[in-house]
Amino acid sequence: MKIVRLAAVSLPFALACAGFAAHAQDAGQIPMPTSGTPAAPSKAIAPPTVAAASPAVENSVVKIFSSLRRPDPYKPWTKATPQEVTGSGVVIEGKRILTNAHVVGYASQVQVQASQDGDKIGATVVAIAPGMDLAVLKLDDESFFDKHKPVPRASVLPDVREAVMAYGYPLGGNSLSITKGIVSRVEFVPYFGGNAGLRVQIDAPINPGNSGGPVIAGDKMIGLAYMVAANAQNIGYVIPNEEVELFLRDVADGRYDGKPQLVDDVQTLENPVLRQYLKLDKSVEGALVHRPARSDAAYPLKEWDIITRVGDYPVDNQGMVKLGPNLRVRFQYRVQQVARDGKVPLTIVRDGRPLQVQVPVGNRRGMLIPSLDGSYPSYFVYGPIVFSRATNEFLAALNANAATMNAMSYLGSPLVTRRGDEPDAQHEELVVISSPFFPHKLVAGYSNRFGAVVESVNGVPVRSLRHLVSLLRDQKDELIVLRFAQRAGETMVLPRKAMLEATEGVLSDNGIRSQGSPDMMDVWNGKKL
């Protein structure tokens, strides 16, 4: 099932959809317009009773107008074409507006407008978590909140089949839209960029533009609408209040650090032959550690360990924990609840013996090919060649082309073979040729290396983009030898002085204001790594 985030645009909708592709790629999402109609209730289930729309809630739901300049990973010295998008938001305590990160991420201007107000008010993004798709806005004119009060939030998860109403400003009109439905499912699932969290599924029709609007049960908000399922009807997704509260507590100091996560690979313990191999009694239930996050002797978890409890919460053979008589979610959900001071208490079974261990948790699993996470790409221009970091956003268009991916796989490109790897001592990140070569005689006769991963400079393996820039800066040899990390790739030999002399002309001819991003220019100008 493909899933799609919901921000809409006031310009042609297809333009905005194209802009969502890069950030959605790391979660396997393909942005596209979707819509749904309410499904007829099953004969076995009575139609939900839904309370009337609340005037107080209506008064506190806002339409958000954003002017976005997303990054262009293939021209990292510039930004993508501006896009005008709209979404929704809701007033919360502290004279703030809560919305989705994808509505305001990379925004150069944000404005909000209440349902019955004629004026738009300028806003500033004061906190954002792209991985959990949440953001907080502050208004330029706080007198707005004199008439628009916070919407109260429920303190518990909604029940499955509980009636809900989704408020927002979907594509197709300027007035507030309210749709009805029920809660269909509650899960703990991957979000974006290696993050995970609770997600509530509803069947109330939501569409592009509903992003950031509240979903209400009774007279309280249960979460924010943020996503719909593509190629399906009446499947919409909500970020529940528990995730909202974790985010708001995190950003209380003005910075988002992220949630504690257990990143060890685990598998279920259902197969009877697997249990026989491990000599397990029927009373032992839990999740089997398939691959620990670290292999050093000091790390508390080992291969074949069985995680039976997270804190006081038992884990079953499917790797699930109970949240009630009729609700189970992945056991990793409890980690974000019980972790303290960077560690989570686990009960494990090892070689038939129960043990209590304290396992380190991080904010996310480090990735050799990470997401930009709301930042713009770093880059460096050297003669007619542009270097940058490999990111999920860079791979977005390549992933959409099966022929390109097949070719990269056949050639053994690390962009394919190391997609899920963590950084190590040899590679902090992958350095790529991010753009086709600029036309120049210095690269005449070489095939274009766009998308190739740089392996070494004059025989020295490249660890990172900063390292590559320092190698080019300190090189004294007359020739620069670039090798690339793939089969059947050319090795490039370039004249060092001529490359340096050509750089200024390349920048001028192509309207590039700086040879590199500020961080890379610090390295080029001699600052220490």
Domain end among 330, 360, 390:
360
Whether 372 maps to a domain, the answer reads: no
Domain end among 329, 360, 391:
360
Q: How far apart are CA 160 and CA 182, in angstroms?
A: 8
Q: How far apart are CA 513 and CA 522, in angstroms?
A: 16
Q: Is 401 in contact with 482 (CB distance < 8 Å)?
A: no
Beta strands in 141-205 (DSSP E): 163-168, 177-190, 196-202
Residues paired with 66 in a beta bridge: 85, 110
Catalytic positions are 102, 211
Q: Do residue 321 and residue 234 come from a single domain?
A: no
CATH of the domain at 273: 2.30.42.10
Looking at the structure of the chain, the number of domains it has is: 3
Nearest to 411 by CA among 398, 427, 428, 392: 398
Length of the chain in terms of residues written: 529
- Higher-confidence residue: 18 or 139? 139
Residues 385-393 have a mean pLDDT of: 97
Domain end among 185, 218, 253:
253
Structure tokens that stand for 335 in this block: 């980690």
Q: What are phi and psi of 396, to 5 degrees?
A: -55, -55
What sign has the CA pseudo-torsion 462, 467, 472, 478?
A: negative
What sign has the CA pseudo-torsion 48, 53, 57, 62?
A: positive
Q: What pLDDT is recorded for position 7? A: 60
* Buried-state track 195-212, b at ≥16 Cβ within 10 A, e below 16: bbbbbbbbbbbbbbbbbb
Question: At 3, is the pLDDT very low, low, confident or very high (cuts 50, 70, 90)?
Answer: low
Whether 447 maps to a domain, the answer reads: yes
Q: Is the pLDDT of residue 226 over 60?
A: yes
Q: Do residue 208 and residue 247 come from a single domain?
A: yes
Q: What pLDDT is recorded for position 53? A: 67
Q: Are strands 196-202 and 177-190 parallel, antiparallel or unpaired?
A: antiparallel
Non-local (6+) Cβ contacts of 474 within 8 A are: none
Q: Do residue 219 and residue 275 come from a single domain?
A: no
What contacts 24+ positions apart, CB below 8 Å, involve 304-308? 304/278, 304/350, 305/348, 305/349, 305/350, 306/269, 306/278, 306/280, 306/348, 306/349, 306/350, 307/266, 307/331, 307/346, 307/347, 307/348, 308/284, 308/347, 308/348, 308/349, 308/354
Helical axes 392-399 vs 13-24, angle rounded to 10°? 120
Q: Do residue 211 and residue 308 come from a single domain?
A: no
Half-sphere CA count of 466, side-chain side, radius 13 A: 11
Q: Is the pLDDT of residue 130 over 70?
A: yes
Q: Do residue 315 and residue 400 come from a single domain?
A: no
Q: How far apart are CA 454 and CA 473, in angstroms?
A: 16
Using one digit for the tens of pLDDT, what is the confidence trace for 249-270? Answer: 999 998 999 999 998 999 999 9
Q: Do residue 13 and residue 109 come from a single domain?
A: yes
Nearest to 269 by CA among 255, 252, 283: 283
Using one digit for the tens of pLDDT, what is the confidence trace for 310-354? Answer: 999 999 999 999 998 889 999 999 999 999 999 999 999 999 999
Question: At 51, is the pLDDT very low, low, confident or very high (cuts 50, 70, 90)?
Answer: low
Q: Is the pLDDT of residue 421 over 60?
A: yes
Q: Is 166 in contact with 149 (CB distance < 8 Å)?
A: no
Whether 325 maps to a domain, the answer reads: yes
Q: Is the pLDDT of residue 468 over 50?
A: yes
Whether 529 maps to a domain, the answer reads: no
Instruction: Please name the helix (run of DSSP H) or strand (run of DSSP E) that holds residue 96, with its range, or none.
Output: strand 96-99
CATH of the domain at 466: 3.20.190.20
Residues paired with 168 in a beta bridge: 177
CATH of the domain at 197: 2.40.10.120
Whether 371 maps to a domain, the answer reads: no
Using one digit for the tens of pLDDT, what is the confidence trace for 147-172? Answer: 999 999 999 999 999 999 999 999 87
Which pTM was predicted? 0.86
Using one digit for the tens of pLDDT, what is the confidence trace for 11-43? Answer: 332 323 323 333 333 333 333 322 233 333 333
Structure tokens that stand for 505 in this block: 């002309």
Whether 369 maps to a domain, the answer reads: no
Residue 276 carries which side chain, given as an amino acid letter?
Q
Q: How far apart are CA 163 and CA 182, in angstroms?
A: 4
Q: Do residue 355 and residue 391 come from a single domain?
A: no
Q: How far apart are CA 222 and CA 200, in angstroms?
A: 9
Q: What are phi and psi of 397, to 5 degrees?
A: -70, -35
Whether 192 maps to a domain, the answer reads: yes
Whether 366 maps to a domain, the answer reads: no
Using one digit for the tens of pLDDT, what is the confidence trace for 87-125? Answer: 999 999 999 999 999 999 999 999 999 987 878 999 999
Rounded to the nearest 10 degrees, how much is the dihedral formed by the CA atoms of 492, 494, 499, 500? Answer: 110
Q: How far apart are CA 362 and CA 264, in angstroms?
A: 11
Q: Do residue 271 and residue 246 come from a single domain?
A: no
The CA–CA distances, whole Å, from 304 to 239, 266, 317, 320, 468 equal 34, 9, 14, 18, 40
Q: Do residue 197 and residue 283 come from a single domain?
A: no
Q: Do residue 105 and residue 215 come from a single domain?
A: yes
Residues paired with 457 in a beta bridge: 460, 482
Q: Do residue 410 and residue 516 come from a single domain?
A: yes
> What is the 3-class SS of 130-141, one letter each residue?
CCCCEEEEEECC
Q: Do residue 226 and residue 116 come from a single domain?
A: yes
Tokens 């509505």 appear where? Answer: 103
What residue numbers bound the domain in which 486 lies?
A: 379-524
